[in-house]
Amino acid sequence: DSSGNPYGPSTTPPTHPGSYVIKGVLAGDANYESRETTANFTIQKLPVTVTADPKEKTYGDTDPGLTYVSSDLGATFVGTLARGSGESVGTYAIGQGSLDNPNYSITYVSANLTIQPKALTVTAEAKSKMYGQVDPALTYTSSGLIGTDALSGSLTRDSGQDIGSYEIRQGTLTAGENYTIYFTGAQLVIDPLDNSSITITPGTYTYNKLGQGPGVGQTSTSGSTGGVTYTYEGTDNQGNPYGPTSTPPTLPGSYKVKGELAADSNHKGAETTVNFIISPKPITITADAKSKVYGQNDPALTYQITSGTLESGDSLSGSLSRESGENVGTHAISSTLANSNYEITYQGALLTIIRGSLPAPLLNLSQNTVMYGDCLPLPGLLDAQQFYNDVKKVIPDAFLTFEIGDIASDLISVNSVQGGKYNYNFSLGVKIIPAVKGEGFIGDLTAYLRHEWQDGNQNTMAEQTRLLIDQVGLSGRNPPITDAGLPANGMNVVFSDYASRNIQSAGVEDLNQDFILEGTWQPASLTGSGSTSGTLNSMGGDAGYWNGS
């Protein structure tokens, strides 16, 4: 056959195309001899047209099956079509390959296998940088590469270095002809520089009725050239909230200020917050020392600001007050003066109540005589009974001791102890006239009684002096000491009589007498030297007579 396969000899005619020999033998019979002959013949192949189907695939995919269409639908073939070699994107001819049927004369119509590019997804990654910095590497992610295939080239971005957003593009990025890149872009953002800073240095602030706090003068910045704004808030020292506001506080308290540096075209802004305190203004208040005379109304209590000053329009609340009481003496002056804007240091003082004065016009009491313990008639005095009560406390309870010194000495004056609510001073002056030796008596004792009225500062308001006469004899002479040569309305002082006055020696050089004021004068003792002997006894009473004032 046409395939070279031998056929026959066989009595069966061949079926496959090919070149054959047929041998015909005619058998003889009785009448004829047998005869044979041979002849060549050919079985032609049946013509058929095979048309390949066009095919395509995506790069990297498996080839699809290569198919065809036969013009003889009943014909069958062995073998397969084949295409040109290669896996890159392109067109490859589909050949008849091994497709055959020895019984057919095949007319083959070829087609093409087309390899399409593979879809490759590339997504750019968003990037950012600070103004003035070098661009970061532009990177991406991809999906769809096969095997060891790789992308080459690089992404690009739109040009520019100012603050803003710039599109990231595919640039020269490629994976070759075998891929179709589907690119998703992104942006490179150039941010303002984040190197701006603001520093606020708080100072020391004391209330001055003006807005205070860290501001322009205490601020330094770097980076951005933008402006600075300040926001103040806090609590004053009375617990009242303040702010937020752009106005600095004025009252003492605890506050904070936030400084905000604005961004400029190439720099970010910045902010900072610091705390500060406005302290109360220190002042020193010194109370004025005051005085009054017993029985008078209190003077107004005043003060001076001796350190610091009040701000214009400010004032202090509260007042000064003193310790209660109306007795002679000192009374502390205290303060409730206050102003929450000031730190007050208070220096106190005293209100002194001084004894009242007995004015000179009241000295003349005519010839009024009162017993000890009675109320002295003092017309025109604040209160006669009150005066008496005061004097009564002074005179009976005070003690006065004086001493007659050397006989040859001159006038000796002794002042009384002060007490009570008035100054009532007196003195007893004694002048001793030396005795004549052998005359039996010491001599003349000339006594002076002086009364003095003083004001609270111990200045003499008035005074009176009385001459007292007493002759000291040797035996039994006990005349009282009496006034001499004084006006009829003057002061009379009467001493109690002595029980005895027995002086036996005329040569006495010293005569010491102690007197105690108990409403009456009483001689306490008499001592002498040389030939002096004996005692000076007294029998004073509890009360005497006050004739006059």
Positive or negative: CA dihedral 431, 437, 438, 439 = negative
- Whether the CB-CB separation of 261 and 269 falls below 8 Å is answered with yes
DSSP code at position 120:
E
Strands 253-261 and 270-279: antiparallel
The residue range of the domain holding 533 is: 357-549
| Listed residues 261, 279, 297: the one ending a domain | 279
Place of tokens 């004899």: 473
Do 470 and 406 share a structural domain?
yes
Do 456 and 535 share a structural domain?
yes
Residues with Cβ within 8 Å of residue 352, at least 6 apart in sequence: 289, 290, 291, 292, 329, 330, 331, 456
Domain with residue 249: its CATH number is 2.60.40
How many separate domains does the chain show? 6
Do 375 and 489 share a structural domain?
yes
How far apart, in whole angstroms, are the C-alpha atoms of residue 360 and residue 462? 5
pLDDT, one tens digit for every residue, the chain (549 residues): 888 899 999 999 998 899 999 999 999 888 989 999 999 999 999 999 999 999 999 999 999 999 999 999 989 999 999 999 999 999 999 999 999 998 899 999 999 999 999 999 999 999 999 888 999 999 999 999 999 999 999 999 999 998 899 999 999 999 999 999 999 999 999 988 888 999 999 999 999 999 999 987 899 999 999 999 999 999 999 999 999 999 999 999 999 999 999 998 888 899 999 999 999 999 999 999 999 887 789 999 999 999 999 999 999 999 999 999 988 889 999 999 999 999 999 999 999 988 654 332 222 223 333 332 333 333 333 333 444 344 433 333 222 222 222 222 233 232 333 334 444 443 333 333 333 333 323 333 334 444 444 444 555 544 444 444 433 332 222 333 343 433 333 333 332 222 222 222 222 222 233 222 222 223 333 333 333 333 333 222 222 222 222
| Listed residues 231, 248, 279: the one ending a domain | 279
Do 218 and 160 share a structural domain?
no
Do 450 and 334 share a structural domain?
no
Do 299 and 187 share a structural domain?
no
Using DSSP's 3-state secondary structure scheme, residue 388 falls into: helix
Do 544 and 408 share a structural domain?
yes
How far apart, in whole angstroms, are the C-alpha atoms of residue 271 and residue 223? 12
Do 168 and 296 share a structural domain?
no
| Listed residues 116, 141, 169: the one ending a domain | 116
Do 527 and 387 share a structural domain?
yes
Do 111 and 92 share a structural domain?
yes
Do 503 and 542 share a structural domain?
yes
Do 514 and 478 share a structural domain?
yes
* Strand residues in 16-130 grouped as ranges (E): 18-26, 35-43, 46-52, 55-58, 68-70, 82-83, 90-95, 104-109, 111-116, 118-124, 127-130
